[in-house]
Structure 1
Amino acid sequence: MKSGTLGFVMLCHTALDRAAQVARHWAERDCPVVIHVDKRVKRRAHDGLVKALGDLKNVRFSGRHACEWGTWGLVAATQEASELILRDFPGVRHVYLASGSCLPLRPVEELVRYLDERPKTDFIESVTTEDVGWTIGGLDVERFTLRFPFSWRRQRRLFDGYVRLQRRLGFRRRIPTGIVPHLGSQWWCLTRRTLSAILDNPDREETDAYFRRVWIPDESYFQTLVRQVSGNVESRSLTLSKFDFQGKPHIFYDDHLQILRRSDCFVARKIWPHADKLYRTFLTDDHASQTAEPNPGKIDRLFAKAIERRTKGRAGLYMQSRHPNENWENGRTAAPYSVFEGFADVFENFELWMSKTTGTRVHGHLFAPGKVEFAGGEAVYNGALSDNAMLRDYNPKSFLTNLLWNTRGERQCFQHGPGDLQALNWFMAGDPNAQISVISGAWAIPLFRSNRNFGDIRRDAAELQKIEAEFLNILRSPWVKARVRTWTLAEFVENPMEPLQTIVDEISPRSMRRLTEVPRLTDLTGFGQFLQNLRNQGMQPVLMGDFPATGELRPSNPRRGRPYLVK
């Protein structure tokens, strides 16, 4: 290895003991190191780091700057440390910028050899603001044209308010002539020639004055200026750094060892300070050497999957440690389910028949006001779900999603009606897993068969009709994602076989057999007159369809003729 051809600049602000390990690792392998320690770090900790590395002749400490995220201090610290390494170590041909939480993944000799084969190449991510796709926070070119006198982290309301004010007033800063804004990762590796040209630029005072007021200048200063002076830029970083959907860096732990090896990168950040296994593995000379090109894209699929799992989770699963933001979830529920409104009123023993025909679990009214009507009259169901209505009503959505999660692999069906809790109407309507079948007006059948005071029946009918009408309006919304079918009571009674066949085929698509047995229809003799009596009492029933006041609707014969063969 050529002595001193590669130098490192390290920006440190925490876990200084780990920074000392990495700095010693590089320095003992003939790579000069200049360390900048954040001015906000206590003097005692800083002096401890200086003492820990005091025996190394090729380690220097630069002047200290306060390095708050998004401010000029990070650039000023990098400038001063870079000037020091160029001045004190004239043999350095490449300068590698790293942080105190960085960790070398491959032997230093490989990195030196890699750079020696590319003596005039600058490695720095540098992309125009029009092409960059990873900015978080809504600011790209505005980073260069607005003013940012307030701290984004400590004065967030003032920061956002001042940005909005400048936008409203149409304020724009003038970008200096010759500067084409570029963005990129803070972590770069530049040649001595390029770095010297940037630091010795005769217009540096004016350039620095402009960039002092740019937001997050450490992601744009060197990335922009390198385009003016370098003849060979590879727009990529040799440091592996991954970010989540919020723009925060992923932290690597001990169990990421194999992932880091697969990346073939030379350096990685951000390493957890207590990842003893990672530091022990990579800060030795006996780990496997390789000649592969750095390729962080090899592990992009894993990170993309991790981000998706973090933001969306598994379909229908609401974990204790993570509750997704509204409408971020990866499917509202874990499995398909069917909701029947009015069927148990129209047919006798509908739940038993449907369960037998489709092989599914068919419940009663899960959201009935009195109790949860689990199939078979169970008091406690899968996952220790209680039939207690008070517990269910504390969080109805979680009750339904837990039921569907706990019974994955077995389709759940349940009855619903205007007399039930209506809190989940929008939730079910927007759930692609839901199959909702409604016989509108069927709620009137229990009232018809009751032997109550007609004045009370009329009031209940008006209330139930209003509730069901609101539910039907929801089901007609353009935002509905559920599979919805609705029939008026009159049209369903005239031809019940076809709707039942359609529903059964959808629940059990593999069977695809004609129904040979259907549940018995409730006797509706006199129901038309009952509806007329409601009208006579001043209540207008509109959801049942056209029932004649005299005579009765008759269902069509559901049975088909015996099949025969044509030879």
Structure 2
Amino acid sequence: MTGAVGPDDMRLGVVLLCHARLDVAARMARIWVAGGARVAIHVDAKASVGSVTRMKAALADLPQVVFSRRHRCDWGRFSLVRATRDAAALLLERFPDTSHVYLASGSCLPLRPVAELAAYLARDPHCDHIESVSALEVGWAVGGLNEERFTLFYPLDWRRQRWMFDRLTQIQRRLGIRRRLPKGLTPHLGSQWWCLTAATLRAILDDPRRAEFDRFFRLSWIPDESYFQTLARRHALRIESHSLTLAKFDHDGRPYQLYDDHIRMLEESRCFVARKIWPQADRLLAHFPRPVAARPDPAPPQPQRIERLINRTVRRRLLGRPGLYMQSRFPRKDAENGKTSAPYAVFQGFSDIFPDFEAWLARQVDADVHGHLLGPEMVEFAGRPEIGPGAISSSTLIRDRDPQGFLTALIRITTRMQAFQFSPRDNQALNWFMATDPNAHIHVVTGAWMLPLLNSPAPFEELRKIAGVLQRIELQQLDILGSVWVRARVQIHELGDVLAYPNDILLQSLRHLPEGLMIRSGVPEVANYQGLSELLRKMRNAGLRLQVTSSVIPLLEMLAPERTAAE
């Protein structure tokens, strides 16, 4: 850095590119002039004559403001470069003592006093501040082209002739067309908004090969992001590859608009200029630029925090919030940002083996412990209210119209962990959803659905049919839980093992709950399973092939004497 040049020696010039809201642009021009800058304004030829006349009248008292020849500017076309170049040439011609030229738009708002920008530039008066990234090494475009924007021909307007633009690009790729870059030119990309020294800018405008370079960039794609960024590399003594304008873009490449509620973040960013300001952000426009201090502060910008916030916003926009499903951005299957928003537990068969399991578990863990949320008769919320958390109805008709939405909404609405009972008797629509959800903790006791049949008054033949249906449903569920696609935490126990060692397996299953388990009272009592082995044998002999309970019969017969002795 050199300290020979002070802020008083700086002569800042500003090129303003305007196309709409010329009243706001006129206000920006006054701010620049009040800070000591000279301004050259280019107004898009598409702007109405009346609006241009009013703008010129509003700025007629400022001799530091000049208007350049108007061009019709289209997005991504060389006309933007031509407009910038003509305005910059006029600025340097009318104000030859200009030391630096700052390119801004009519919606760019100075955040700090212009004197502080001059003080910052005076710290290194021969440095050019322009984002200039090698197109051959670093990806730049958002959903666009990098190297190909220089190697293919782009004579068509991307916005107005999109279909033909895409077809022409595909044809050139297929034919292997590759433009030859001008000798000695290495393409660079960067933000359209820069601040160049007058020496570098004059060298670009007076380059003896300018006509050759213009021909090349005229058929490139979005040359306003590459023309000055590339040619500055030929003429600059020193480049600081960053823009002094805070201009962030979303994932579609559109600039973010700044509103009144961004005032504090913009203050903390310490940036000199911000783009793009919403025209009706009256408080923001009144707040900036900040008042001039007794001594200008040349501190550099610190946009890291606001950039982090914007980057998180982009991620939120792309991925959504975990477990939140909205009509405006309903995710593709398996492309959501988390199926659910928090861990939850599913217990299958435990309430059949331990009749008081639901109430007992509610006393042990800090969670909402429900009954059968997917049961056939009603949604069994904890305490059995008709309206559950978040005004979710207990109606099965409403639930079954969108079981996934029902479960994800319940988990997201509540702050505590959710736990509920499950059974082959319940709606099975969520088996794959829960099995592939990393937040799910699924605990299954196979064959436990047999215990309620012991006390059923239904005829044996009907019980046999019910058992066949429930067994088939459970087998299908076990196939899902054994899939390689499972992401849930799954524990599966056989009914015989649980009946043999109820306390040990119960505690083993609950030890890995997300909320942890703190035994505040004794374990619940096991249901009376006397006669279960006889019922199973009778069903087997009647033609039902027992697949999940076949091993229970000999174990129950072995346990029978021990149970009798204990009683």
TM range (shorter): 0.7 to 0.9
Counterpart amino acid of residue 333 in structure 1: T
Kept after mapping to 2: 8 A contact 1:437/1:485: yes
1:415 to 393, 416, 421: 421
CA distance in 1, matches of 2:459, 2:490: 35
Partner of 2:89: 83
CA distance in 1, matches of 2:561, 2:129: 79
Counterpart amino acid of residue 355 in structure 1: A
Post-superposition CA distance 1:275-320 (Å, at most 9, x none):
2222223257557853312222253343344444545565545578
Post-superposition CA distance 1:377-398 (Å, at most 9, x none):
2111222121111222233223
Cα drift, residue 419 of structure 1? 2.9
Partner of 1:434: 440
Closer, same or farther: CA 323–533 of 1 in aligned 2, 3 Å: closer
1:404 is the counterpart of 2:438: no
1:104 is the counterpart of 2:90: no
SS of 2:483's equivalent in the other structure is coil
1:41 is the counterpart of 2:47: yes
User: Number of matched residues?
Assistant: 556
| Residues 407-556 of structure 1 aligned to structure 2 (within 5 Å) | 407-409=414-416, 411-447=417-453, 450-452=456-458, 457=463, 460-507=466-513, 516-523=522-529, 525-527=531-533, 530=536, 533-534=539-540, 537=543, 539-544=544-549, 546-548=551-553, 552=557, 554=559
Counterpart amino acid of residue 223 in structure 1: Q
Closer, same or farther: CA 281–374 of 1 in aligned 2, 3 Å: closer
Closer, same or farther: CA 28–361 of 1 in aligned 2, 3 Å: closer
Partner of 2:134: 128
CA distance in 2, matches of 1:19, 1:112: 21
Cα drift, residue 111 of structure 1? 2.0
Closer, same or farther: CA 516–445 of 1 in aligned 2, 3 Å: closer
Cα drift, residue 201 of structure 1? 2.4
Cα drift, residue 262 of structure 1? 1.9
| Residues 57-206 of structure 1 aligned to structure 2 (within 5 Å) | 57-132=63-138, 135-137=141-143, 139-156=145-162, 158-160=164-166, 162-164=168-170, 166-167=172-173, 170-206=176-212
Counterpart amino acid of residue 418 in structure 2: Q
Post-superposition CA distance 1:434-466 (Å, at most 9, x none):
211112333344456545466655555454444
Partner of 1:561: none
Closer, same or farther: CA 159–421 of 1 in aligned 2, 3 Å: farther
Give the % identical residues. Answer: 47
Post-superposition CA distance 1:172-211 (Å, at most 9, x none):
3333332222111110011222222222223323322222
Cα drift, residue 524 of structure 1? 5.4
Partner of 2:3: none
Counterpart amino acid of residue 360 in structure 2: W
Counterpart amino acid of residue 113 in structure 2: P
Partner of 1:562: none
1:352 is the counterpart of 2:359: yes
Cα drift, residue 485 of structure 1? 0.8
Kept after mapping to 2: 8 A contact 1:436/1:484: yes
Cα drift, residue 128 of structure 1? 1.3
> Which region of structure 1 is more displaced relative to structure 2, 372-381 or 470-479?
470-479
Kept after mapping to 1: 8 A contact 2:365/2:518: no
CA distance in 1, matches of 2:507, 2:320: 36
Cα drift, residue 93 of structure 1? 2.1
Partner of 2:31: 25
Cα drift, residue 135 of structure 1? 2.9
SS of 1:377's equivalent in the other structure is coil
CA distance in 2, matches of 1:555, 1:42: 96
1:302 to 301, 309, 319: 309
Closer, same or farther: CA 376–271 of 1 in aligned 2, 3 Å: same
Counterpart amino acid of residue 144 in structure 1: F
1:263 is the counterpart of 2:269: yes
Closer, same or farther: CA 270–328 of 1 in aligned 2, 3 Å: farther
SS of 1:195's equivalent in the other structure is helix
Counterpart amino acid of residue 344 in structure 2: Y
Kept after mapping to 1: 8 A contact 2:340/2:439: yes
> Which region of structure 1 is more displaced relative to structure 2, 514-523 or 233-242?
514-523
Post-superposition CA distance 1:5-48 (Å, at most 9, x none):
21111111222111001112223444221112223323322232
SS of 2:299's equivalent in the other structure is coil
SS of 1:122's equivalent in the other structure is strand
CA distance in 1, matches of 2:159, 2:534: 69
> Which region of structure 1 is more displaced relative to structure 2, 202-211 or 155-164?
155-164
TM-score (norm 2): 0.87
Closer, same or farther: CA 241–365 of 1 in aligned 2, 3 Å: same
CA distance in 2, matches of 1:21, 1:453: 88
Partner of 1:373: 380
Cα drift, residue 267 of structure 1? 1.2
Counterpart amino acid of residue 551 in structure 2: D
SS of 2:552's equivalent in the other structure is coil
CA distance in 1, matches of 2:560, 2:297: 79
Partner of 2:343: 336
| Residues 242-321 of structure 1 aligned to structure 2 (within 5 Å) | 242-283=248-289, 285-286=291-292, 289-312=296-319, 315-317=322-324
Closer, same or farther: CA 22–438 of 1 in aligned 2, 3 Å: same
> Which region of structure 1 is more displaced relative to structure 2, 375-384 or 198-207?
198-207
Closer, same or farther: CA 360–77 of 1 in aligned 2, 3 Å: same
> Which region of structure 1 is more displaced relative to structure 2, 365-374 or 298-307?
298-307
SS of 1:70's equivalent in the other structure is coil
Closer, same or farther: CA 370–124 of 1 in aligned 2, 3 Å: same
Cα drift, residue 360 of structure 1? 3.8
Cα drift, residue 65 of structure 1? 2.9
Kept after mapping to 1: 8 A contact 2:45/2:72: yes
1:383 is the counterpart of 2:390: yes
Q: CA RMSD in A?
A: 3.3
Counterpart amino acid of residue 552 in structure 2: F
Kept after mapping to 2: 8 A contact 1:358/1:508: no
Counterpart amino acid of residue 256 in structure 1: H
Counterpart amino acid of residue 345 in structure 2: S
CA distance in 2, matches of 1:45, 1:34: 17
CA distance in 2, matches of 1:459, 1:25: 85
Closer, same or farther: CA 139–25 of 1 in aligned 2, 3 Å: same
Segments of structure 2 that go 5 or more residues without pairing to the other structure are 1-6
